[in-house]
C-alpha cells in the first residue's frame, strides 16, 4: 500500500493511534495536515519534513476544522483522506458527571466528526477519497462510569452508515472500533475501575490474544481502509479488539 503524493488530515495526531497513523502515512510518502492540542509534540511532528503541517487546536471548535481543510487545499491542492483520531473520556457516573464534561466529550468524539467532514467531503469527492473514524468497542459494550464516552462513540456507527449511503461511491467512509490499546487515553480510563493498578494486566490476561493492543495494530487497519485494496468497503465498523467482545 502506497500513499505517495496523497494528502491526509489526521486529528489527534500528537499521541496514541493518531500519532502512529501519522508516522506510517509520512513514511509512505503522504502530505499531512496534522492536528492536536499539544504544541510541544506538534513541533516534533513538524520536524518530520516540509510535507508535514501541524495546526494546533481543539477539534471541538468548528473553525479549527475548517482551517485544516483550507490548509490541505492551500498547500497541497487536494485532499485524499481523513483520519479522525481525537478522543476524550468524560469519566463519571451520569448523576455525578458535570454538564461541561458531558458537552466536551460529545463535542470531541461526535460533533467534531460533523465539523471536519462537513468541510472535507466536497474536497474528498474530487479525489474519490476515504475517511476512517476511530471509534471504540464502547459503542458495543458498557464500561464502568463512561456514559459520555459510550454515548458519543455509540452514535458513530449509525453516522458512518448514513454518510456511506449519502456520499458513495465518490467517498468511502468507515470506522474502526478498538478495544484496549496502550495509549494515554487508556491509561487515563483505568481510574474508573475498582483496581486501577492491576486492571490493565487483568484485561490483557483475559483476552484471547493475551495482550493489550498497540497503536500499530489499529494503524494497520487504518492503512488498509484508506487504500485501494478496500475499494468495496464503506459504511463498515471494523472491530479490532484482540477478541475482547468474544469474552
Pairing, β 7-11 against β 81-84: parallel
Cα→Cα distances 220→17, 54, 67, 120, 246, Å: 10, 23, 28, 23, 21
The SS3 assignment for 213 reads strand
Rg of the chain in Å (alpha carbons): 17
Crossing angle of the two packed helices 147-167 and 99-106, in degrees rounded to 10: 30
Termini Cα distance of the chain: 33
Among 115, 149, 167, 224, the one annotated catalytic: 149
Taking Cα atoms as reference points, which of 71, 86, 237, 89 lies closest to residue 163? 237
The SS3 assignment for 217 reads helix
Q: Among this protein's residues, is 149 annotated catalytic?
A: yes
Helix then strand then coil, % of the chain, to nearest 5: 50, 15, 35
Count how many residues are written for the chain: 247
Catalytic machinery residues: 149
Amino acid at each position: 500500500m502506497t500513499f505517495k503524493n496523497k494528502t491526509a488530515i489526521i486529528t489527534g495526531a500528537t499521541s496514541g493511534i493518531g500519532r502512529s497513523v501519522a508516522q506510517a502515512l509520512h513514511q509512505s510518502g503522504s502530505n499531512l495536515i496534522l492536528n492536536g492540542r499539544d504544541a510541544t509534540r506538534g513541533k516534533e511532528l513538524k520536524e518530520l519534513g516540509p510535507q508535514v503541517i501541524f495546526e494546533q487546536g481543539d477539534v471541538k471548535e468548528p473553525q479549527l476544522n475548517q482551517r485544516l481543510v483550507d490548509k490541505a487545499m492551500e498547500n497541497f491542492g487536494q485532499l485524499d483522506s481523513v483520519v479522525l483520531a481525537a478522543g476524550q473520556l468524560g469519566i463519571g457516573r451520569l448523576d455525578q458527571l458535570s454538564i461541561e464534561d458531558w458537552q466536551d466529550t460529545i463535542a470531541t468524539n461526535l460533533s467534531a466528526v460533523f465539523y471536519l467532514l462537513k468541510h472535507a467531503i466536497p474536497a474528498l469527492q474530487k479525489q474519490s477519497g476515504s475517511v476512517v473514524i476511530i471509534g471504540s468497542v464502547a459503542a458495543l459494550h458498557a464500561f464502568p462510569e463512561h456514559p459520555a464516552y459510550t454515548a458519543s462513540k455509540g452514535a458513530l456507527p449509525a453516522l458512518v452508515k448514513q454518510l456511506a449511503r449519502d456520499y458513495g461511491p465518490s467517498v468511502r467512509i468507515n470506522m474502526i472500533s478498538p478495544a484496549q490499546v496502550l495509549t494515554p487515553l487508556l491509561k487515563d480510563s483505568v481510574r474508573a475501575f475498582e483496581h486501577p493498578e492491576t486492571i490493565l494486566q487483568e484485561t490483557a490476561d483475559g483476552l484471547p490474544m493475551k495482550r493489550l493492543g498497540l497503536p500499530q495494530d489499529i494503524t494497520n487497519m487504518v492503512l488498509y481502509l484508506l487504500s485501494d485494496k478496500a475499494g468495496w468497503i464503506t459504511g463498515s465498523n471494523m472491530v479490532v479488539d484482540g477478541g475482547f467482545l468474544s469474552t
